[in-house]
Amino acid sequence: MKTFHIHIKGIVQGVGFRPFVYKLATEMQLKGWVNNTSDGVHIRMTTDEEQANTFFDRILAEKPKFSVITSSELKEIIFEEFNQFDIIRSEESGEMNLLLTPDFAMCRDCQKELYDETNPRYLYPFITCTNCGPRYSIIKSLPYDRPTTTMAPFKMCPICQAEYDDPLDRRYYSQTNSCPKCAIELSLWKNGQFLPKGDEIQQVVRAWRDGKIVAIKGVGGYLLTCDATNSLAIRRLRKLKQRPSKPLAMMHPDLFELAEDVEIDASTMLELEGVSSPIVLLSLVKADDRVSNTAYDDIAPGLKQVGVMLPYTPLYELLLQEFGLPIVATSGNISGSTIIFKDDEAIEYLAPIADLILLNNRKIVLAQDDSVLKYSVVKYQKIILRRSRGLAPSFLFEQVDSLPQKTILSLGAMLKSTFTLFHAGNVFVSQYLGNTDVLDAQENYERTLEHLLNMFDATPEVVIVDKHPQYYTHELGRQIAKRFGAKLLEVQHHKAHFYAVLGEHNLMNLDEKVLGVIWDGTGYGDDGQIWGGEFFIYEYGRVERIHHLDYFDFILGDKMPREPRISAFVISGGDEALKDKFTDEEWRIYQKLLAQDQKLQSSSAGRLFDAAASIILDVDHQTYEGEAAMLLESAAYQYFRKNGATKFYTYLSDGIPANFPKFILKKLIEGKMDGYDSTFLAAKFHITLANYIYEIAKRQQIRKVAFSGGVFQNGWLVDLVQMFMDKEFELYFHKNLSPNDEGISFGQLMSLRQLTK
């Protein structure tokens, strides 16, 4: 007999790992113990070598469903004798070296119990077990145990305590365990006061039926909700939330009824019903074929897709099943601000919007929006649009050994901000933290960052920022570097995008070149210009810019991104066909600006999309970021849906002309004047861009091509690029990060090899 020690790292806390090990050890009649510590799960047992190896192999093969093992080790140690197999309480010792567990959607077992009249938790809105419920949003410190979460104030009743203490029970060490006898309590706020307790579910449902707006406290913050079939309620919500046309998310009570209105395939169904339960963008079927009377035109104006999620908490499940209809479920905030997660702030800021506020007395530690993703229609390419609840913050990166073994903090960009922390061999990419050009987003960013640094007692030794000197995150990085005496490094915006997709696909140790196509709206370039339509080559740790969309004047500052007509005017060279889009005075002023020698130039693909939308669809002003591009993608989708996507109508039959952006806009203007259908022109624009990328790649003769930047949130462009290129090239798109600026902070971390050479 010998004694063996097993050490397992990864997402192994809050997923039922210890009871799993206990049950397996009991089955195999082993004696020893299992323990959670600050660096993972530790197991000791005394047995023979063959049995130890079998036990080890079975742990790895049969691990709990939601656990993720990043490293594991079995070794012989000094002999110990044990009387039985025990679970030892979590210990905090040494450096924290853990991956954080995200919040989980309600599991099938709890859903079944929720509707079981014989179960003590029948219709209990906060039913959870080891396999589901809040994790990251309620943890205050590590290791993950009830006293270190916002569940600490809730003393378990004898029944819950017995489950919690029983290694063979599904709720063993379930830190969120509670029941109606030791309940998390609901309360309702209306007209400046709390209502008498009781009947909260029914009161919310009645409010929806009466066309009212209800704010509901969820896992990561408050959602503003109303009846999704009530156009008047939706329009009122838009007005009060100051969100005139940006699409709103929906929550649907029934997947099968939802499938009568939208197109659902195996991939999207798995996402909707999965443990992360994100918002999934789904294509609407033709209006005449829809069964429900959901007000899609008010929910997603001008678009042929709608963002939908299923009830992912027992509270939402009870509300939606009782209501029997879909609801609008959008972030509880004023447009442009971050999601509200504190009860007092909800009462102060949401009361003017919501007729009713449904609160509960379990605190939220960190705010999180719902995650958002979609799949491209033809190639089923997964595209993450917002990485947050259920997906953040731990990030599995296989090549951590290639990074300097220091604590490294990278602070991302300004819009769609995130930060990335590399500490003790683990990578953490924060949830989406909003656009840090507004104060409350800056406060949320700093609060989340400080929480993570404190949780791991992490002291940054290297801080990485975007090159743009006016970004909030740039200045914050300077302050943090000074505070900790850390080395400060800068990385150009689009190079960080490229490094992010290279890092995701482990392409940084190759002996061959990789071509990077990085297209987005705005980024501060190495030459002081506004980049956004870039082509790079990565080789031997170096990134070189080798091509870009032809420069055009960048005028009128922030007005240009807000008004696509200005991009159309500038890129087209002031084409007379666009004159009706402007007043006579505007036309004179803008012509004078165009005639001047402008210092600021741009290669932005995002502005090219804006210009095309202005010409094709007459989208001359945007009420939200990306509106013009989304409407253009939707128009292209309508054409491809009707005519298929196999015929490639491209403007590049004679190769790439000089000044490609001006050329393609001229073609679009001619097409519009010749009376071509707008959906055909939108499709041809997308096809031509994919063809353009293909032609540039052919010139470079580089087989591996990687894509990043917000433009590649466009599913049709992603599909068309693959149709043009996947037979001749190896193509790499983001898998677990968004192509938009959320991925910048991870790319900054990945750039470290180049920066430190």
pLDDT tens-place string over residues 86-129: 988 766 555 666 788 899 999 999 999 999 999 999 999 999 99
The mean pLDDT of 518-538, rounded to a whole number, is 97
For 449-477, what is each residue's pLDDT tens digit?
Answer: 999 999 999 999 999 999 999 999 999 99
For 241-261, what is each residue's pLDDT tens digit?
Answer: 999 999 999 999 999 999 999
More confident residue, 287 or 224: 224
Residue 553 has pLDDT above 50, yes or no: yes
The domains found in the chain, sorted by start residue, are 2-88 (3.30.70.100), 186-370 (3.90.870.10), 387-505+743-755 (3.30.420.360), 531-536+548-734 (3.30.420.40)
Task: Supply the pLDDT for residue 611.
Answer: 98
Q: What is the pTM of this model?
A: 0.94
Task: Supply the pLDDT for residue 757.
Answer: 43
In angstroms, the CA 603 to CA 523 distance is: 10
Helix 314-323 to helix 200-209 angle (10° resolution) is: 50
Q: Taking a C-beta distance cutoff of 8 angstroms, is the pair 482, 729 a contact?
A: no
**What pLDDT band is residue 337 in, cutting at 50, 70 and 90?**
confident
H or E element that contains 705: strand 704-708
Task: Supply the pLDDT for residue 14.
Answer: 80
Residue 141 has pLDDT above 70, yes or no: yes
Strand 462-466 and strand 408-410: the pairing is parallel
For 166-192, what is each residue's pLDDT tens digit?
Answer: 988 999 889 999 999 999 999 999 999
Task: Supply the pLDDT for residue 39.
Answer: 81
Strand arrangement of the beta sheet that strand 382-386 belongs to: 193-194, 186-190, 356-360, 214-217, 222-227, 327-331, 250-251, 305-309, 279-283, 372-375, 382-386
DSSP 463-490: EEEES-TT-HHHHHHHHHHHHHT-EEEE
Residue 55 has pLDDT above 80, yes or no: yes
Task: Supply the pLDDT for residue 676.
Answer: 96
Q: Taking a C-beta distance cutoff of 8 angstroms, is the pair 272, 207 a contact?
A: no
Task: Supply the pLDDT for residue 126.
Answer: 98
The mean pLDDT of 433-439, rounded to a whole number, is 93
When the pLDDT of each residue in the chain is averaged and rounded to a whole number, the result is: 94
For 652-677, what is each residue's pLDDT tens digit?
Answer: 988 899 999 999 999 999 999 999 99
In angstroms, the CA 718 to CA 178 distance is: 46
**Which of 78-82, 336-340, 417-421 shows the lowest mean pLDDT across its residues?**
336-340
Category of 389 on φ-ψ map: left (φ > 0), alpha (ψ -120 to 50) or beta = beta
% of the chain with per-residue pLDDT over 70: 98
Task: Supply the pLDDT for residue 756.
Answer: 46
Residue 81 has pLDDT above 50, yes or no: yes
Neighbours of 491 (CB within 10 A): 25
68 φ, ψ (degrees, to nearest 5): -135, 120
% of the chain with per-residue pLDDT over 90: 87
